[in-house]
Chain A
Amino acid sequence: MNENLITIRNLKTWFDTPRGTLRAVDGVSFDIRKGETFALLGESGCGKSITALSLMQLVPEPAGRIAGGSVHLDGDDILQYSEARMRDVRGSRIAMIFQEPQTSLNPVISIGDQIRETVLQHTSLKNDAAKQRVIELLDSVGIPDPKRRYEEYPHQLSGGMKQRIMIAIALAGEPDLLIADEPTTALDVTIQAQVLDLLKKIQADTGMAILLITHDLGVVAGMADRIGVMYAGQIIEQADREQFFKTPRHPYAEKLFASLPGDMKRGQALAVIKGNVPALTQEFTGCRFVERCDYALPVCNDTVPDWLDSDVSCHRFDPNWQKLFATQQAQQMQAESINRVEPAEELLLEVNNLKVHFPVHTGLLRRVSGYVKAVDGVSLSIRKGHTLALVGESGCGKTTAGKGLLQLLPVTSGEVVYDGMDLCRQNASTLRKLRSDLQIIFQDPYSSMNPRMLVGDIIAEGMIAQGIAKTKQQRNDMTAQLLQQVGLPVDSVNRYPHEFSGGQRQRICIARALAVNPKLIVCDEPTSALDVSVQAQILNLLQKLQSELQLSFLFITHNISVVEYLAHEVAVMYLGRIVEQGHVDEVLHSPKHPYTQALLSAVPVIDPATQQEIIHLEGDLPSPLNPPMGCHFHPRCTHATQACKDHYPQAVSFSGTHTVSCHLYATS
């Protein structure tokens, strides 16, 4: 065994809030060995970021304070250090990168100067030598043309590039430990693959340890040597990667795996963790997970589980209690099967060559000098009772396509045929009547409801606008029924949206959409703002509703595992156009387009057995204002030929359902 670099014992970080002391981190202990990657895994609000900030002693003051514990770095307790001494640790011994590269860099200082600042602070290099070192660092994090980039400002770089700059800043002090706080959460999956790869490479070169903080089991599987699972301010399980992914022991960890969507679970309900994370302002007398645990026994309620030799804190693994659990069979819920609708051929809605262009004005007279071609000729067909997934990275135009389809944005050209009518050519009153058939659910459950309206009024709004229920009594009855349908208590009508959690809010949004009896719901990333366990609930609900009400979904997402689980058909979008579409198995299991292949390969997978070679994409998504000539993907494509540069490829059909727009298959 390698020796420990940092030893954290019983760390407590508390926040003073008007509602009492919030014990965000409540007795966390773990070690990180030299050169290893230790992953702290947990859902939002479990205290993993605060743990990281506590190591740096950067907990936001005055609300937060480190209430106890010790952090020994190479034998010295750095919690006892003075602020001045701590400054020599920060950036030099321990460096940190953050989740949001967009905001984490100073916008008015050139990136070179921002890196050089750390070089000057923590090394003896001066002037030209320091600058030279910065250029080396830029080079080492894979920034092309580092000399020129030195003078550039953060806004001139893409998100992935900015995260590389953050890594360069962190490396400048040659730290022993790098804390990476959700380093790729804000990035697209192909960029995520690049950044994770870079971190691995740097670790191999420098031998530094990494404390990786993440909620993504896939990232953990690809990166971590050892794992600590956090729940409600504590570490509840700690294990090696192999062991953890083979048999997670704590009921919470077990549930996390079960709630992940994927193609293996198609047709059955995902496991959900009931209830919510307990409020951290209370004193705990038992296990923190007891309310949500399927195995819970009375002992779990009144005895706090010890941290066991087996590196898990659960009474099930405590020799004293094991017998009790063995006799009492867990009331495990059987994976409920869901009535999955199989393809009917009846078309519900057809999109032909839809274009949504936004004009760009420049020059003296603000003349239109060009167009941002957000959606540039998209054709889709959605069948009754089906789910079509529209997949793509941020900025590819998938949300614009969804809103354009619903006529929520001015459509430039193309047609959306529904019920024999082209929606783009209907007058306002006809369109208004048709709106009840086509609804939308948004990504952010926090901003999709008017905070000043009662839930009852929110749900009834569409009924009133569409004249669905005439009297108030009818509306109230319908609202109550809808709330039951989405699994919320009926008395929710008299409460405000802010009183609900993210998942509950998304349920209200679904109820709101259902209120007007739609045929098609555009689901715009409805689960990306939610934790995995909550995501499972929403996905279950959507599937249940689909089979009950014969709903069609246009499911806009970047999350491939959700697509695998939920979709019947898939369309992959790149820079305003669809590059590949077909049946879910065709597209996901035998992708033809190089972009689809790269995209799928970059998705981190949990099962080490299916770990495959990642196809790395060079660079970033080009601007839709000025897309590359020919095939939009050719500058990043390894198979690119002259033909790709010259003209956009025609769609090639592989089967009745599977079509690909790529020159590779043009001749075959």
Chain B
Amino acid sequence: MKYLPAYRKMLLIRRFEERVAELHRAGLVPGFAHLYWGQEAIAVGVCHWLRDDDHILSTHRGHGHCLAKGADPARTLAEIMGRATGYCRGKGGSMHVAAFERGILGANGIVAASIPIATGVALASGLADDGRVTVVFFGDAAVEEGPFHESLNLASLWHLPLLFVCENNQYAISVPVQKRQGGRGAAAIAQAHGLETRRVDGNDAVAMLEASQWAVQRVREGKPVLLECATIRWGGHHSAQPTRRYRSREELQAAQAACPLARLEKRLIAQGEATPEELLEINAAIIAQVDEAERFARQSPFPEPGAATEDVYATQEGSG
């Protein structure tokens, strides 16, 4: 198969997240920015096989999922910068980017909370028999939350067309997974609920694409599936947080040696899909795309204060 389309998406996420970090340091991103760099192969590997009308639900570390599913980088960045032109009119920000027109039903600031919602989205597709796939992304810490277990049971009991994607990036803020979980991880728990599962090297784009192709196909046939993807969080929990109190430099260097982009670049060149010069051109084009997104976001106005009271309800007060 050709890997350049996935490579372009992964590179877009990397360059986008680098820009978010810069803008955060410059004071142009309010609040927190939980960055997805280093984990690009997972979102891109899964979303590569999705249709435009398939649904995804995401986490507080959700920029990458949104871009992989086709969100416009300019409107995404405008949202992260709190501008009126953002997807959510500046009401959601980094942790709550949603683009319903692209099937992106929202990132979520509560760990594991999008998993139960995803069961309902998948049930709607099952009841309509519309062949749509629902994907819910979540981190390793979500495995410790009750709704994860409840929702695996619902998916199994009701044969929901739902793909659970656990991104095991090893850390919940500062505590490594070995200090938080006594069991054998997300896949083993899902197997106990009767789901089909696969463990994947989430830093290997080729492996992610292969496993995701299988998984999305199984879900489209009506079987719930869980993918457990091993990766590593490159940065702090959010972009401004240092990691030296809980993670050694050697550990991070070893993880970054497994960079999914670098690995895919080698593969592209080795199999003759692209030359190093062509990859440089792609990189330049993507930087230009991120530049354009930044220009759009910087030039966009902040919301008017009066917008604060809009969008609380769909119906007018008293009308029901």
Tell me, yes or no, whether A binds B: no
